[in-house]
Amino acid sequence: MSQIVVLGSANMDLVTRQPRLPEPGETMAGTGFATGAGGKGLNQAVAARRAGADVVFIGAVGDDGFGRELRGFLEAEGVAADRLATSDEPTGIAQVSVLDGGENSIVIVAGANGESALADGDAAAIAEASALVVQLERPLPLVEKGLSAARAAGVRTVLTPAPVDPAAALLLPLADILVPNESEALALSGETDVEAAARVLSATAGTVIVTLGARGSLIARGGEIVSRVEARRVEAVDTTGAGDTFVGVLVAWIVDAAELDDAVRAATAAAAIAVTRPGAAPAMPTRAEIDAALA
Eight-state DSSP code of residue 214: G
Work out whether strand 104-109 and strand 92-99 pair parallel, antiparallel, or are unpaired: antiparallel
What distance in Å separates the CA atoms of residue 34 and residue 43, rounded to the nearest whole number? 17
Sheet holding 32-38, edge to edge: 32-38, 11-18, 92-99, 104-109
- 77: CB partners within 8 A, 6+ apart: 46, 49, 50, 281
Residue 42 marked ligand-binding: yes
Residue 216 marked ligand-binding: yes
Residue 11 marked ligand-binding: yes
Residue 20 marked ligand-binding: no
Residue 64 marked ligand-binding: no
Work out whether strand 11-18 and strand 104-109 pair parallel, antiparallel, or are unpaired: unpaired
Q: Closest Cα partner for 39 from 112, 120, 124?
A: 112
Residue 122 marked ligand-binding: no
Residue 38 marked ligand-binding: no
Eight-state DSSP code of residue 82: T
What distance in Å separates the CA atoms of residue 190 and residue 197, rounded to the nearest whole number? 7
Residue 30 marked ligand-binding: no
Residue 276 marked ligand-binding: no
Residue 274 marked ligand-binding: yes
Residue 154 marked ligand-binding: no
Instruction: Please work out, in degrees rounded to the nearest 5, the angle formed at the alpha carbon of residue 279 by the alpha carbons of 28 and 109.
Output: 70
Cis peptide before 19 (omega within 30 of 0): no
Tell me if residue 292 falls in helix, strand or coil: helix
Q: Which residues are catalytic?
A: 244
Residue 36 marked ligand-binding: no
Q: Closest Cα partner for 36 from 58, 57, 68, 11?
A: 11
Residue 43 marked ligand-binding: yes
- Greatest Cα-to-Cα distance within the chain, rounded to the nearest angstrom: 53
- 86: CB partners within 8 A, 6+ apart: 60, 61, 62, 63, 67
Residue 83 marked ligand-binding: no
Residue 140 marked ligand-binding: no
Residue 145 marked ligand-binding: no
Q: Residues marked as binding for substrate?
A: 11-13, 39-43, 137, 244
Q: Residues marked as binding for ATP?
A: 181, 211-216, 243-244
Q: Residues marked as binding?
A: 11-13, 39-43, 137, 181, 211-216, 238, 240, 243-244, 274, 277, 279
Q: Residues marked as binding for K(+)?
A: 238, 240, 274, 277, 279
